[in-house]
Amino acid sequence: SYENRSQQGVTWTVVSPIIFTYRIIQCRDLLDPGNDALLWGHVGDGALTGAARNGSKPVRRFVVIDETVHRLYGPRFARYFEAWGVEAKILPLATTEENKSLELVAKILEEVHEFGIDRRAEPIIAVGGGVCLDTVGLAASLYRRRTPYIRVPTTLLAYVDASVGAKTGVNFAGGKNKLGSYVPPVASLLDCSFFQTLPRRQISNGLAEMLKMALMKHPGLFRLLEADGRKLLCAKLQPCDAISGSSSEQEDGAVASTRIAIETMLEELAPNLWEDDLDRLVDFGHLVSPELEMQRVLPALLHGEAVNIDMAFMVYLAHQKGLLTGDEKERIIRCMRGLELPVWHRDCTLDLVRQSLQERLKHSAGSLRMPLPTGLGRA
């Protein structure tokens, strides 16, 4: 900090860079009792792990889990903690987009408080889709000003997107994610085997965010999704080595596509965790989609679907502006259809686009930036 004296008095200016360190860990068999990642993955290898394990205090964990995920995997989580002798409180909640609110945050906080956690040693664990991870993240960032938390994404969308960055949030006053914080988890634990129980539509939903990264900055990922998108969708992004036992000389399509999506996302997010820089490629598809998402009554659009409708519109716009050739435009739209994503919606009107642009302009310090594709994998 530094001091500045003037006739009016003294001003102290505090400059305090905050450093966050968090780990994103891809692993198989997260629920195998032989795998300690769920308990200790956030600590990292080394001394602390041993100390924490050998400590005399019993290990405790507070787990918030999406209701549907609990129905499917609850017993395996219970068995896992039992095997490690962990005193676990597992709280299943209906973490739906309609419930993504401050009330849900308060409900979680009350339960956390009742259980009583040691905020230095007992991170809160969130298991579910983006709604669960966002809501628990916000609750954790509020509890005693900041309690560490762990993300375990169980949808493809949360795996490639919500688990990678630092954002938490809930909907508020009719606005999507209008309340939130930039507080990353201490760890994100990624296990793609959860996708096996996802409905096909949820896989397409996640592929939309992967396509976003492909269109903005990775021609190779675009080619992969263009050529094998449908195959990946049908296989629910399960790597086929498990089945065929094939050698790993050539990286599996499912493994490669999720890895590239995460890497490109991190490249964009890590230097700009607080989103101070408004030139954000990751915002592609997120200009009109928030309005579209909030406006929809049932049957609601999924996040990735709304994002894709937004992207398709922008692809046409880019073509109009001469940034994309007709052939490139066609290829992108065909790829989207192959991934079984909607490319058009009757509620995505010019009025809605205008309204979204105005809304965005209000929060962009007067100058509106919007990413547009200028080729296949370039923006």
- Which residues are the active-site residues? 167
Tell me how far apart the terminal alpha carbons of the chain are, to the nearest angstrom.
Answer: 40
Strand partners, 188: 24, 151
Site membership for ligand NAD, residue 126 (CB under 6 A)? no
Q: Which of 41, 129, 148, 371 lies at the binding interface for ligand NAD (CB under 6 A)? A: 129
Site membership for ligand NAD, residue 165 (CB under 6 A)? yes
The first and second tokens of residue 293, run together, are 């998402």
The first and second tokens of residue 162, run together, are 């919500």
Nearer to ligand NAD, 236 or 319 (CB): 236
Q: Which stretch binds ligand NAD (CB under 6 A): 191-199, 221-229, 239-247, 336-344?
A: 191-199
Site membership for ligand NAD, residue 183 (CB under 6 A)? no
Nearer to ligand NAD, 95 or 258 (CB): 95
Nearer to ligand NAD, 37 or 164 (CB): 164
Site membership for ligand NAD, residue 131 (CB under 6 A)? yes
Kindly state the smallest distance separating residue 373's Cβ from ligand NAD, in Å: 20
Cβ neighbours of residue 71 closer than 8 Å, sequence gap 6 or more: none
Q: Which of 198, 211, 262, 324 lies at the binding interface for ligand NAD (CB under 6 A)? A: 198
Site membership for ligand NAD, residue 261 (CB under 6 A)? no
Task: State the Cα angle at 321 between 320 and 323, rounded to 5°.
Answer: 105
Give the helix ranges, DSSP H, for the chain. Answer: 37-40, 47-54, 67-83, 102-115, 130-142, 156-157, 200-217, 219-234, 241-244, 253-269, 289-295, 303-320, 326-338, 350-362
Task: Give the residue from 269, 270, 161 showing the smallest Cα distance to 210.
Answer: 161
Q: Which of 69, 183, 208, 214 lies at the binding interface for ligand NAD (CB under 6 A)? A: 69
Site residues for ligand NAD, 8-47, by CB under 6 A, read none
Residue with tokens 């820089």: 277
Q: Which stretch binds ligand NAD (CB under 6 A): 195-203, 211-219, 223-231, 247-255?
A: 195-203
Q: Are 177 and 303 in contact (CB under 8 A)?
A: no
Q: Directed axis angle between helix 219-234 and helix 326-338, to 10°? A: 30
Site membership for ligand NAD, residue 285 (CB under 6 A)? no
Question: What number of chain residues touch ligand NAD (CB under 6 A)?
Answer: 29
Chain contacts with ligand NAD (rule: CB under 6 A): 66, 68-69, 72, 95-97, 100, 128-132, 134, 154-155, 157-158, 161-162, 165, 167, 177, 194, 197-198, 202, 205, 303
